[in-house]
Structure 1
Amino acid sequence: MLVAARPMTTIPAQFEQTLSAFPDKTAVFGGDESLTFRQLHAEAAATAQALASLGVLAGDRVGICMQKNLDQVIAILGVLWANAIFVPIHPVLHAEQIGHMVDDCDMKLLITDSTRITELRDATHGRIVVGHGPAEEEMPSLKELRQKCRNAPVFFRAKPKNTAAIIYSSGSTGKPKGIMISHRNLADGSRIVASYLGTKATDRIAGVLSLNFDHGLNQLLQTLYAGASLYLHNLIFPRDLFRLLATKRITALPLMPVIITRMFDPQLPGPDADLDFSALRYVSTTGGPVTARMLDQLQRTFPGTDIVVMYGLTEAFRSSWLPPDQLSARRTSIGKAIPEVELYVLDDQGQDCPPGVPGQLVHRGGCVAKGYWNAPEATAERFRQIDRFPGETVVFSGDLVRRDEEGYLYFLARMDSMIKTRGFRVSPTEIEEHAHRFDGLLGAVAFGIDNPEIGQDIAVVYTTADRTPLASQVLTEHFRLGMPHHMVPRWFVHAEAFPATASQGKVDRVAVRRFALEKLAGLCSVQHNHDCT
């Protein structure tokens, strides 16, 4: 059944049900501190009242730029309870980037850590409040304000269709845009993901992911929906994470590929030999391709644990998942549609592509966002109504995929990143997958560089396990033996590590491309006599 046929609800409404069932169960652990569902609910209500005392009204945009801790969790829920719209901002972003978001969505207030107040005062035009850390002189402290609002009544009045959050896209393929997420989107996302992962009150979820993007935020919302417990953890040294998994008997470990790479960094100590991970039910991952090396590392470290591969886009949160029993047979598949969602592979005329033929992935059903903030043209391009589904908005993902005979989907590339070379359209993903088959190569990003003679040359930027470069001739031979001539890269560039986008933790492909072009600029102009910039 598609989500449209289900009753509409909100996160606060889901939380109220969980509160009735598990009032004194611990909801969130953060270091040496923790909050029960009752305490978390009271802190959220007090925060909402405190925000109202600062002049925050229903529909106002409130930014949250904080390190991951209990105060950040309380701030997120407090903004929701205040009927305002929260705007999650990763704390590694610079003042100029944050200033763009402040101005773009006309932000009423920014909640941030005390260590950022001086830096961000100008970027926020002085509309700033301390969310964590010691209070600043002449600067409101949300923690102190909410202590004055104890026992405040809940005055949540927003409707499911109202905007709950504006999440800025990762910027991995261009300038970030603010995506408007409704209260229903958030509630449907928590319920749907919990349904196919089997999330329940006995689960203990590792909160490794940032709460500033949708996949990390969903772990908190699943906790509120199912009555589970969330253990916040800031990943610095992998060994500390492995110890958390064992000592706290963690049952659910949501990850992203960049975090998997960090967990198994050969330069850092791995898990102690005597750690017991038998409580771990599943490891889930989304936000980029999972290499064979990553899967092998996860399966060796967590034997018997389900590995769940997922795919999604912020415009519709989550689209597909690959059931664990299909992983060995379909290692590169992104699976099939999640419950209450239908996925289509359409050609340029809007017709279904037969199996094996690439087309654009189109998402219908659950979690379709409201569009882009203050960007009607971009909204019209991505969020469309088509004759096939009258009166209904579907999301054209911009992702090129293919479907096999059994209906399983395979991601090929972003449609705007296809490499056009020698009369062929080449998927960067196919190039990257073949690069990953080379022993010792850790990560790869492929893209095209304009060459008037053949269209584009293929370039590959790669990282290695020992952080030392490989011989380009050896890599070229690897591709010549395994790929058609037109898919053999012309350029190989070594990087010690890939930068990640701040808002979503994906590989920052724009920054990687810029890095490679700077490295190659001289070589390209001399050897091919064309512009590489």
Structure 2
Amino acid sequence: MSCNANPVVRPIDHLAECGADNAPALLLRGGTLNHKDLRERVARLAGWLKSQISEPGARVASWAAKGELTCLMPLAAARAGLVHVPINPLLKRTQVAHIVHDSGTRMLLGTPSRLTSLEPGDCPADCLVMAEDEALAAAMYSQPLGPSDSDPDALAAILYTSGSTGKPKGVMLSNANMWLGADSVADYLGLADDDVTLAVLPLSFDYGQNQLFSTWYAGGCVVPLDYLTPRDVVKAVERHRVTTLAAVPPLWVQLTELDWPTEVAANLRRLTNSGGALTIELVRKLRGLFPAARLFPMYGLTEAFRSTYLDPALVDSHPTSMGKAIPHAEILVIDDHGQVTADDAEGELVHCGPLVAQGYWQDPVRTAERFKPAPAASSYGGMAVWSGDRVRRDAEGLLYFVGRRDAMIKSAGNRISPQEIEEAALASGLVAEAVALGIPDARLGQAVHLIARPLAGISGFEEELPRILLQQLPNFMQPKVIHWREAMPISPNGKIDRTGLYQELAA
């Protein structure tokens, strides 16, 4: 089945049916699976999952590095009528425990080293915990399941993302959300069946997951890579003749600092960026290093997958633009009165259309804050995602980012909740008050800075707090700097003056 030639909305597991039998689909450490192999592995894993959990809509989670399990689970779980919950392998047991309990996970599959870090009570009592190798071995002997006939609007995945306050929240994605996302990206990137995508981004995020979906939709091949150093990326591009590379700004910065052999750089047909804006200088470096590659700056949010992309033909002339709406998305800039703004006037970016997610899992309060009726000007109507991001639209229809309304920290492509870091610091028993901020950083986009006031009478806190945070938080949440204060500044409303602290540290 050529999915590019027949863009009917289907259940997400049908992506396994898109490529030609003998064409490569997934390059793993143990060898390459062609698209026929991919279909068989997805079918057997789905059959095994259904034999273990017969309840439709039950949640199954994966917590492992990139490999066969994490690549196949999004399709196999959906085919079995289950809901996949991919967990970032960088998270530690505290965050994982929250996710599996919040989602009501019935099965957790992962690498043994991660699973052994869990403690009693971290998983629900009815949750089956199993090592990924054991699950894959059992699946090889299971009865295969053919392509599903699930409702395209049925819930297929819950992706957990940090909020500006509180613990990670689960974004609910339907089959249609993910299928149309694959169709959209394969379309505007111009992916083809001879493309090879190097999947360096985490598969627990929408941007990372779509590396799989859009490539398989086009009938191409994915090479998963958990890299240790940026040079590993260069070597992989050379070894596998990679044509497509998706990354976030901090990785692009590191990659532009390396020597790229001309013939290796020439392999790349397209570069895509999201998770933060590219600077004009970084655009210049990328264009110089990869003159044959088309550069796609993009903007997205998990609640609506992706919203805009900039046509590569406009990158040199409009390097700071977010571009225009991707296929299947309607993007409106709305003023404080609910009306579409005039050209060059600032407003809120509102995303309408079939890529809009189904809300936050079991969280009607936060769902109501972000998912609201579409503006009257929308041609789609229904529910829309009100992003909270301030943008402007010029006379050509190109969008430009102005600022972020919430307090989210974006560091190395990760969206980080300040409150999670603050709560971990307070829970240490060393800190009376804590504020986490994202301070502009040339390499990370934003670096995490923690401002803390120690509890009276406590000694050794300067050495002890970093050690505790290293145990409790994943690496990407670790403060780059901890600033100790005898007193916190107070704003006129009686709260800690976060704005003043930010201005002081960012100066």
Q: TM-score range by the shorter chain?
A: 0.7 to 0.9
- The one of 385, 393, 396 equivalent to 1:395 is 385
Secondary structure of the residue aligned to 1:75 is helix
* Contact 2:333–2:392 under 8 Å retained in 1: yes
CA distance in 2, matches of 1:34, 1:401: 44
* Contact 1:31–1:232 under 8 Å retained in 2: no
Aligned to 1:130: 130
Seen in structure 2, the aligned counterparts of structure 1 residues 121 and 235 have a Cα distance that, compared at 3 Å, is same
Does 2:57 correspond to 1:59?
yes
Code of the residue aligned with 1:316 in structure 2: it is A
Does 2:259 correspond to 1:258?
no
* Contact 1:117–1:128 under 8 Å retained in 2: no
Aligned to 1:413: 403
Does 2:91 correspond to 1:98?
no
Does 2:77 correspond to 1:89?
no
- The one of 268, 271, 276 equivalent to 1:288 is 276
* Contact 1:347–1:359 under 8 Å retained in 2: yes
Q: Identity, % of aligned pairs?
A: 32
Deviation at 1:282, TM superposition (A): 0.8
Post-superposition Cα deviations, 1:262-284, rounded to whole Å, max 9, x if no partner, equal 434x6xxx235465321211100
CA distance in 2, matches of 1:460, 1:192: 32
Deviation at 1:414, TM superposition (A): 1.8
Code of the residue aligned with 1:12 in structure 2: it is D
1:51-200 maps to which residues of 2 (within 5 A)? 51-120=49-118, 122=120, 123-125=122-124, 127-133=127-133, 141-149=134-142, 152-154=144-146, 156-171=148-163, 175-200=167-192
Code of the residue aligned with 1:380 in structure 2: it is A
CA distance in 2, matches of 1:530, 1:364: 36
Code of the residue aligned with 1:519 in structure 2: it is H
Deviation at 1:178, TM superposition (A): 0.6
Aligned to 2:31: 33
Secondary structure of the residue aligned to 1:397 is strand
**How many residue pairs were aligned?**
437
CA distance in 2, matches of 1:387, 1:343: 11
Normalising by structure 1, we get a TM-score of 0.75
Code of the residue aligned with 1:79 in structure 2: it is A
* Contact 2:88–2:204 under 8 Å retained in 1: yes
Seen in structure 2, the aligned counterparts of structure 1 residues 31 and 345 have a Cα distance that, compared at 3 Å, is same
CA distance in 1, matches of 2:282, 2:374: 39
- The one of 447, 461, 466 equivalent to 2:439 is 461
CA distance in 1, matches of 2:105, 2:249: 32
Aligned to 2:293: 305
Unaligned runs of 5+ in 2: 1-6, 419-436, 448-469, 499-507
* Contact 1:46–1:147 under 8 Å retained in 2: yes
Code of the residue aligned with 1:414 in structure 2: it is R
Seen in structure 2, the aligned counterparts of structure 1 residues 463 and 310 have a Cα distance that, compared at 3 Å, is closer
Does 2:8 correspond to 1:10?
no
Code of the residue aligned with 2:206 in structure 1: it is D
CA distance in 1, matches of 2:86, 2:329: 26
CA distance in 1, matches of 2:48, 2:394: 54
Aligned to 2:201: 209
Deviation at 1:44, TM superposition (A): 1.3
Deviation at 1:191, TM superposition (A): 0.3
Deviation at 1:197, TM superposition (A): 0.4
Normalising by structure 2, we get a TM-score of 0.78
CA distance in 1, matches of 2:238, 2:260: 10
Unaligned runs of 5+ in 1: 1-5, 134-140, 419-427, 433-444, 448-458, 470-498
Does 2:225 correspond to 1:233?
yes
CA distance in 1, matches of 2:178, 2:489: 50
Code of the residue aligned with 1:132 in structure 2: it is E
Secondary structure of the residue aligned to 1:325 is helix
* Contact 1:45–1:154 under 8 Å retained in 2: yes
Seen in structure 2, the aligned counterparts of structure 1 residues 118 and 271 have a Cα distance that, compared at 3 Å, is same
Deviation at 1:155, TM superposition (A): 6.2
Post-superposition Cα deviations, 1:149-173, rounded to whole Å, max 9, x if no partner, equal 1x52326242101001001124466
Deviation at 1:406, TM superposition (A): 1.4
Does 2:499 correspond to 1:521?
no
* Contact 1:312–1:318 under 8 Å retained in 2: yes
Post-superposition Cα deviations, 1:294-315, rounded to whole Å, max 9, x if no partner, equal 3233223212321110011111
Deviation at 1:356, TM superposition (A): 2.0
CA distance in 2, matches of 1:232, 1:284: 16
Does 2:373 correspond to 1:380?
no
CA distance in 1, matches of 2:112, 2:274: 32
Deviation at 1:75, TM superposition (A): 2.7
Aligned to 2:265: 277
Deviation at 1:10, TM superposition (A): 2.0
Deviation at 1:239, TM superposition (A): 1.8
1:427-446 maps to which residues of 2 (within 5 A)? none
Seen in structure 2, the aligned counterparts of structure 1 residues 386 and 188 have a Cα distance that, compared at 3 Å, is closer
CA distance in 2, matches of 1:274, 1:354: 45
